[in-house]
Amino acid sequence: MSLSRRRFLKQLAAIAGSASAAGASSRAFAGAGRVVVVGAGFGGATAAKYIRMWAPDVQVTLVERNREFISCPLSNRILAGQIELVDLTRGYGALSSKYGIDIVYDEVVGINPDKQELALADGDALPYDRLIVSPGVDLLFDEIPGLRDRGARERVLHAWKAGQQTVALRRQLEAMPDGGVYALTVPKAPYRCPPGPYERACQVAWYFKTQKPKAKVLILDANDKVQSKEALFTKVWKEWYAGIIEYRPNSTLLDVDAKTLTAKLEFEEVKADVLNVVPPQRAAKIAADAGLITANNRWVGVDFLTYESIARRNIHVLGDAILAAPAMPKSGHMANQHAKVAAAAVIALLRGESPNPSPIINNTCYSFVSDKQVIHVASVHRYDPEKKTMVVAPGASGVSAAPSELEGAYAESWGKNIWADMLA
Partner 1 sequence: MKHRTSSIAGWALLVALGLAYPAAAQDQSARSLAANCTGCHGPSGNSSGAIPTIAALDRAYIVTALQEFKAGTRQATVMHQHAKGYTDQEIEVLADYFSKQKRP
* φ, ψ (nearest 5 deg) of residue 223: -85, 165
CB 331 within 8 A of CB 346: no
Q: Is 420 in the site for partner 1 (CB under 8 A)?
A: yes
Q: Is 397 in the site for partner 1 (CB under 8 A)?
A: yes
Between 32 and 288, whose beta carbon lies closer to partner 1?
32
Out of 364, 371, 372, 389, name the contact with partner 1 by CB under 8 A.
Answer: 364
Between 78 and 390, whose beta carbon lies closer to partner 1?
390
State the nearest-atom distance from the C-beta of 102 to partner 1, in Å. 18
Out of 148, 351, 387, 388, name the contact with partner 1 by CB under 8 A.
Answer: 351
CB 314 within 8 A of CB 131: yes
State the nearest-atom distance from the C-beta of 110 to partner 1, in Å. 25
Between 29 and 257, whose beta carbon lies closer to partner 1?
29
DSSP letter string, 96-116: HHTT--EEEES-EEEEETTTT
Contact positions with partner 1 (CB under 8 A) in 112-171: none
CB 292 within 8 A of CB 151: no
Between 177 and 395, whose beta carbon lies closer to partner 1?
395
For partner 1, what does the binding mask look like between residues 22 and 41, x meaning CB under 8 A? Answer: -----x--xxxx--------
Q: Is 314 in the site for partner 1 (CB under 8 A)?
A: no
Q: Is 398 in the site for partner 1 (CB under 8 A)?
A: yes
Distance, CA of 231 to CA of 92 (rounded, Å): 39
Q: Is 327 in the site for partner 1 (CB under 8 A)?
A: no
Distance, CA of 55 to CA of 408 (rounded, Å): 36
Distance, CA of 192 to CA of 278 (rounded, Å): 10
Q: Is 344 in the site for partner 1 (CB under 8 A)?
A: yes
State the nearest-atom distance from the C-beta of 33 to partner 1, in Å. 7
State the nearest-atom distance from the C-beta of 175 to partner 1, in Å. 34
Q: Is 83 in the site for partner 1 (CB under 8 A)?
A: no
For 134, 203, 265, the CA distances from 73, given in Å and listed in that order, are 17, 13, 29
Q: Which residues of 237-333 form beta strands (DSSP E)? A: 245-248, 253-257, 262-265, 269-271, 274-277, 281-283, 293-295, 299-300, 302-303, 308-309, 315-317
Out of 40, 141, 376, 390, name the contact with partner 1 by CB under 8 A.
Answer: 376
Nearest to 215 by CA among 254, 280, 150, 273: 273
Between 16 and 406, whose beta carbon lies closer to partner 1?
406
Span interacting with partner 1, options 179-187, 193-201, 263-271, 332-340, rule CB under 8 A: 332-340
For 284, 311, 324, 338, the CA distances from 385, given in Å and listed in that order, are 29, 20, 16, 17
Nearest to 118 by CA among 255, 309, 261, 314: 314
Bridging pattern class, strands 137-139 and 281-283: antiparallel
State the nearest-atom distance from the C-beta of 235 to partner 1, in Å. 17
Q: Is 230 in the site for partner 1 (CB under 8 A)?
A: no
CB 34 within 8 A of CB 127: yes
Total number of residues binding partner 1 (CB under 8 A)? 51
Helix (H) or strand (E) run with residue 64 in it: strand 58-64
Span interacting with partner 1, options 109-117, 163-171, 306-314, 339-347, rule CB under 8 A: 339-347
Between 3 and 53, whose beta carbon lies closer to partner 1?
53
Q: Is 322 in the site for partner 1 (CB under 8 A)?
A: no
Out of 60, 157, 341, 369, name the contact with partner 1 by CB under 8 A.
Answer: 341
State the nearest-atom distance from the C-beta of 41 to partner 1, in Å. 14
The total number of residues written for the chain in this structure: 424
For partner 1, what does the binding mask look like between residues 39 and 78, x meaning CB under 8 A? Answer: -----------x---x------------------------
Q: Is 19 in the site for partner 1 (CB under 8 A)?
A: no
Distance, CA of 179 to CA of 262 (rounded, Å): 17
Q: Which residues contact 165 (CB under 8 A, 6 or more apart)?
A: 157, 158, 159
Residues that bind partner 1 (CB under 8 A): 27, 30-33, 50, 54, 333, 336-337, 340-341, 344, 350-353, 356, 359-362, 364, 376, 378-382, 393-398, 400-401, 404, 406-407, 409-410, 412-414, 416-418, 420-421, 424
